[in-house]
Chains A and B, each alone.
Chain A
Amino acid sequence: MTRDEIRATVLRTLGEIAPEADLSTLEPDVSFRDQLDVDSMDLLNFVIALHARLHVDIPEADYPKLATLDGCMDYLAAACVVRSDVGHA
């Protein structure tokens, strides 16, 4: 999975959780919580959807790493690489 595909998935998922948000103005290094008025229930639903779409395991301890768009990209890109390595092993 390319970074662009991951990014598109993250943005699509965010759009479903905060349908009124204008994601084109999303600051990549500011937390979703501060920009989108999302709460812990929204973030839980975000993680559940990413898990289902990208097939990555996201332990609860890693949730803080998914707080921003940049954080999501780094974490998910790494997780997807690890997964495909395992797949080829």
Chain B
Amino acid sequence: MADFLMPILTADMSAGTLVEWRKKPGETLRRGDIIALVETDKGLIDIEVFSPGVLERIVVAPGTTVPTGTVLAVIREERPTGAPVTAITAPPPIAPILPALQPVSPPPAHPGPLLPAEARRKISPLARKLVAELGVDPATIRGTGPGGVIRREDVERAAAARAAAPAEQPRAPLDRQTRARQAIGAAMARSKREIPHYYLATTIDMHRAMSWLAEQNQKRAVEDRLLYGVLLIKAVALALKEVPELNSLWRGSEAVRSDAVHVGVAISLRGGGLVAPAIHGTSEQDLGELMRRFRDLVQRARSGGLRSSELSDPTITVTSLGERGVESLFGIIFPPQVAIVGFGTIVERPWVVGGQIVPRPVVTATLSADHRVSDGHRGGLFLSAVGRLLQEPERL
């Protein structure tokens, strides 16, 4: 028997709400199956099974918020004979860092019937936040947005209607925004306290990359066009092959190199907050495939439906504030990773090429890395490899 626990998906996760069980007791579980839907500060996450077996017993009922590490269910493991043990073990857990950060929220007043997952997701992030704050049961709200999406006004209307109904009991407001900020703050404070960061920056000429991209996008159908972000992500993934120690994860007291490169991409969430899910096997994908996965990931990050492995698997993170005109940024490393790469906005600057001053689009690339695992010399080689790879975009 194995306990199935509320997972720690990201270093800043302290608790989660079990929203829905996707498997029933007695059902067979295969590795990668979605067993449950959990709401976290990062939105609704599909929780995957790591150990094959049979769902023996459900311990935590839908609607319950529990701290990470709480037993959610019991799984009867069925280890296929001859299968390597590594194939069925869960990844090393991220050390819990937020013991009892804040009281766990009470279960919702209406545990009632759950909406089908698809319908649940048709709610704008702002409305979802409001649902939590006002304590409205989403099942009671009629969505008036496009395709029946529940919008802010709908939640407010439902809350007002509920207030008018005498039988309803008021519920303590649950400030998700504050909780998320506290969690991010605690995780980043721990990172800064425990990880001896060093910081490097370099400026990369993006003339070739941007010209090549414009040419490519002229040929590509609109839905296959590339954003320059995927060139940066791919260049990082390939540069890691040259400086592999930056693609490591802490396991206990040891930093272990990861053979696979799963680049986590920082995505801002509507209404605040940040999530950095992995594009699995980043270095193996061509740019078109990488773009498709990137688009899909951004969409799911913002509307719900990230998978637990996408949150827990990144081996390094790429972050960019270029969208808002910031020229450079130095990230704070997400434990258990050992490095984070930052890209600013692409700006046109005077640049010297062959003794002539010419206008060129340039980007500032930065590296924040863990001094226990690498040093500035190796970090410098990494950034220079990223710059070199971006001079040959056709080979990315």
Point out residues on A near B: beta carbons under 8 Å. Answer: 12, 15-16, 18-20, 37, 39-41, 44-45, 47-48, 51, 57-61
Check: B58 CB closer than 8 A to any chain A CB. Answer: no
Interface segment, one of B35-43, B217-225, B330-338: B217-225
Check: B127 CB closer than 8 A to any chain A CB. Answer: yes
Cβ distance B326 to chain A, nearest Cβ, rounded Å:
13
Specify which chain A residues have a CB less than 8 angstroms from the CB of B227 in the assembled complex: 40-41, 44
Q: Are A58 and B222 in contact (CB under 8 A)?
A: yes
User: Given A39-B323, A41-B295, does the pair A18, B222 have CB atoms closer than 8 Å?
Assistant: no
Specify which chain B residues have a CB less than 8 angstroms from the CB of A12 in the assembled complex: 146
Docked Cα-Cα span, A58 to B217, in Å, equals 11
Docked Cα-Cα span, A60 to B220, in Å, equals 10
Q: Are A45 and B295 in contact (CB under 8 A)?
A: yes
B152 CB contact (under 8 Å) in A20, A47, A57, A58: A20
Docked Cα-Cα span, A60 to B217, in Å, equals 7
Docked Cα-Cα span, A58 to B221, in Å, equals 10
Docked Cα-Cα span, A59 to B217, in Å, equals 8
Specify which chain B residues have a CB less than 8 angstroms from the CB of A58 in the assembled complex: 222
Q: Are A47 and B145 in contact (CB under 8 A)?
A: no
Q: Are A47 and B222 in contact (CB under 8 A)?
A: yes
Specify which chain B residues have a CB less than 8 angstroms from the CB of A19 in the assembled complex: 124-127, 145-146, 149, 151, 270
Q: Are B126 and A20 in contact (CB under 8 A)?
A: yes
Q: Are B151 and A20 in contact (CB under 8 A)?
A: yes
> A56's closest neighbor in chain B, by CB?
B222
> A13's closest neighbor in chain B, by CB?
B146
Docked Cα-Cα span, A61 to B223, in Å, equals 15
> A18's closest neighbor in chain B, by CB?
B270
Q: Can you list 24 A-B contacts (CB < 8 A)?
A: A12-B146, A16-B146, A16-B149, A19-B124, A19-B126, A19-B149, A20-B124, A20-B125, A20-B151, A39-B268, A39-B323, A40-B227, A40-B229, A40-B323, A41-B298, A44-B295, A45-B295, A48-B222, A48-B223, A51-B223, A59-B218, A60-B214, A60-B217, A61-B214
Q: Are A15 and B146 in contact (CB under 8 A)?
A: yes
Residue from the set A20, A40, A41 with the largest chain B CB neighbour count within 10 Å: A20
Docked Cα-Cα span, A36 to B217, in Å, equals 25
Docked Cα-Cα span, A46 to B277, in Å, equals 23
Specify which chain A residues have a CB less than 8 angstroms from the CB of B268 in the assembled complex: 39
Check: B271 CB closer than 8 A to any chain A CB. Answer: yes
Specify which chain B residues have a CB less than 8 angstroms from the CB of A57 in the assembled complex: 222
> B223's closest neighbor in chain A, by CB?
A48
B218 CB contact (under 8 Å) in A16, A40, A47, A60: A60
Q: Are A20 and B229 in contact (CB under 8 A)?
A: no
Specify which chain A residues have a CB less than 8 angstroms from the CB of B147 in the assembled complex: 16
> B295's closest neighbor in chain A, by CB?
A41
Specify which chain A residues have a CB less than 8 angstroms from the CB of B127 in the assembled complex: 19-20
Specify which chain B residues have a CB less than 8 angstroms from the CB of A61 in the assembled complex: 214, 218
Specify which chain A residues have a CB less than 8 angstroms from the CB of B271 in the assembled complex: 20
Specify which chain B residues have a CB less than 8 angstroms from the CB of A39 in the assembled complex: 268, 323
Specify which chain A residues have a CB less than 8 angstroms from the CB of B149 in the assembled complex: 16, 19
Cβ distance B266 to chain A, nearest Cβ, rounded Å:
12
Ranked 3 nearest A-B pairs via Cβ? A20-B126, A19-B124, A60-B217
> B220's closest neighbor in chain A, by CB?
A60
Docked Cα-Cα span, A37 to B126, in Å, equals 13
Docked Cα-Cα span, A20 to B151, in Å, equals 6
Docked Cα-Cα span, A18 to B152, in Å, equals 12
> B298's closest neighbor in chain A, by CB?
A41
Chain B positions 227 through 244: 1 when the CB is less than 8 Å from some CB of chain A, otherwise 0: 101000000000000000
Docked Cα-Cα span, A18 to B164, in Å, equals 31
Cβ distance B271 to chain A, nearest Cβ, rounded Å:
7
Docked Cα-Cα span, A40 to B231, in Å, equals 14
Specify which chain A residues have a CB less than 8 angstroms from the CB of B152 in the assembled complex: 20
A44 CB contact (under 8 Å) in B145, B151, B225: B225
Q: Are B270 and A37 in contact (CB under 8 A)?
A: yes
